[in-house]
């Protein structure tokens, strides 16, 4: 099949940056002004990721903060889930130690960066200084002839946030993010938790379309999906590529970074799970004997 003929999918974005530079404020602003917030009355429950539907009809999927730990855990396990990193730098504080760390993470994972120069509403804001400090860290911004886009924003007033969203969707189109909604479901476990309703996992669908009744295997556990919930806690019927969703009904609690793959039937799921569990037990025994 021709990649260029597959439908586009939403980009998966991780927000990174120094402490208190405004990551959460920017995400909250996007959530509160998105189409979904209007539809759902702005209720947000925490799941490991959420999707922002834009006025253009496009969507962006954000991995929730705190991003660094999750990003590193996943990457250590070989899960390259992020398409784009938005690096938040406060315009009054400029590049700080965790900014440098975030740049290193993004570069070693070879994930392209968009810089959000935040707190532009503050009188002390100095976006030119931020650009110069970034250049010293090897980030060549567009204004200085480089390729990295910067967008001046305020998570507080909302100034520039639509421009940031547009920069993300434009870059996603250039990078040509596509996936097949008709293939077997493949995804990543972003996080696993145990609730009153049982063991649940936030799954980011990479390809295929996940539906109630589908059977998923992740690590040494599996589920026949009883229900799917979006980040507003609402039941959804199906979830396509690039979208996060909460999946219930797991035998054991899935682990962040595990791959979630659709199985043919319960028998196959149980078999794969058993083999993996035995393998884990053998490895543990070998370790214990060392
Ligand atoms: P951590 O998650 O702790 O690393 O912080 P964060 O990067 O998520 O920053 P957060 O959104 O919590 O913002 C830190 C402080 O900066 C809060 O008091 C915000 O109200 C303030 N803040 C964030 N964005 C802006 C902005 O654009 N303008 C102004 N004036 N204040 C902002
Ligand atoms: Na904070
Ligand atoms: Mg935060």
Burial class for 135, CB neighbours closer than 10 Å (0-12, 13-18, 19+): middle
Q: Are 86 and 164 spatial neighbours (Cβ–Cβ below 8 Å)? A: yes
- Give, for ligand 1, the residue of 14, 17, 24 to mutate: max count of ligand atoms closer than 8 Å to Cβ: 24
Task: Please choose, from the candidates 145, 76, 102, the residue with its C-alpha nearest in 3D space to the C-alpha of residue 15.
Answer: 102
**DSSP line for the chain:** --GGGSPB---EEEEEESTTSSHHHHHHHHHHHSHHHHHHTT-----SEEEEE-TTS-EEEEEPSSHHHHHHHHHHTT----SEEEEEEETTT-S-HHHHHHHHHHHHTT--EEEEEE-TTSTT--HHHHHHHHHHTT--BGGGTSSB-EEE--TTT-TTHHHHHHHHHHHHHHHT-B--TTS--EEEEEEEEEETTEEEEEEEEEES-EETT-EEEETTEEEE---EE-TTS-EESEE-TT-EEEEEEESS---TT-EEEE-SSHHHHHHHHHHHHHHHHHHHHHHHH-
Number of neighbouring beta carbons within 10 Å of residue 103: 22
Report the nearest atom of ligand 1 relative to the CA of 157.
27
Nearest protein Cα to ligand 1, atom 13: 22
Q: Which residues of the chain have pLDDT under 50?
A: 40-45, 67
Separation of 22 CA from ligand 3 center, angstroms? 7
Separation of 20 CA from ligand 2 center, angstroms? 4
pLDDT of residue 104: 92
pLDDT of residue 42: 44
Separation of 65 CA from ligand 3 center, angstroms? 6
pLDDT of residue 257: 85
| Pocket-forming residues, ligand 1, beta carbon under 6 Å | 17, 19-25, 65, 118-119, 121-122, 154-156
Neighbours of ion ligand 3 (CB under 5 A): 23-24, 65
pLDDT of residue 63: 84
pLDDT of residue 49: 84
- Give, for ligand 1, the residue of 17, 18, 25 to mutate: max count of ligand atoms closer than 8 Å to Cβ: 25
pTM of the shown model: 0.90
67-114: pLDDT as tens digits: 456 566 776 666 678 999 999 999 999 999 999 999 998 898 899 999
Nearest protein Cα to ligand 1, atom 10: 22
Nearest ligand for residue 155 CA: 1
Nearest protein Cα to ligand 1, atom 28: 119
Separation of 64 CA from ligand 3 center, angstroms? 9
């Amino acid at each position: 099949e021709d990649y260029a003929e597959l439908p586009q999918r939403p980009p998966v974005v991780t927000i990174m940056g120094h402490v208190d530079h405004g990551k959460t404020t920017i995400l909250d602003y996007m959530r509160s002004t998105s189409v979904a917030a209007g539809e759902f009355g702005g209720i947000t429950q925490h799941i490991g990721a959420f999707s922002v539907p834009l006025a253009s009809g496009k969507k962006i999927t954000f991995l929730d903060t705190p991003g660094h730990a999750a990003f590193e855990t996943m990457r250590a396990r070989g899960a390259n889930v992020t398409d784009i990193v938005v690096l938040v730098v406060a315009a009054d504080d400029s590049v700080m130690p965790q900014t440098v760390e975030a740049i290193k993470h993004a570069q070693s994972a070879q994930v392209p960066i968009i810089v959000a120069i935040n707190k532009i509403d503050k009188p002390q804001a100095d976006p030119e200084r931020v650009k110069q400090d970034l250049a010293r860290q090897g980030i060549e911004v567009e204004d200085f002839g480089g390729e990295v886009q910067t967008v001046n924003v305020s998570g507080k007033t909302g100034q520039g946030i639509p421009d940031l969203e547009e920069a993300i969707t434009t870059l996603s189109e250039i990078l040509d993010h596509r996936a097949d909604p008709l293939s077997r479901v493949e995804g990543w476990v972003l996080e696993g938790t145990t609730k009153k309703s049982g063991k649940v996992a936030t799954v980011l669908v990479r390809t295929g379309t996940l539906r109630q009744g589908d059977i998923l295997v992740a690590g040494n556990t599996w589920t026949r999906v009883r229900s799917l919930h979006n980040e507003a806690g609402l039941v959804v019927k199906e979830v396509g590529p690039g979208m996060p969703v909460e999946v219930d009904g797991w035998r054991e609690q899935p682990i962040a970074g595990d791959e979630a793959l659709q199985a043919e039937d319960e028998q196959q799921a149980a078999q794969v799970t058993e083999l993996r569990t035995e393998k884990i037990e053998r490895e543990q025994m070998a370790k214990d004997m060392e």
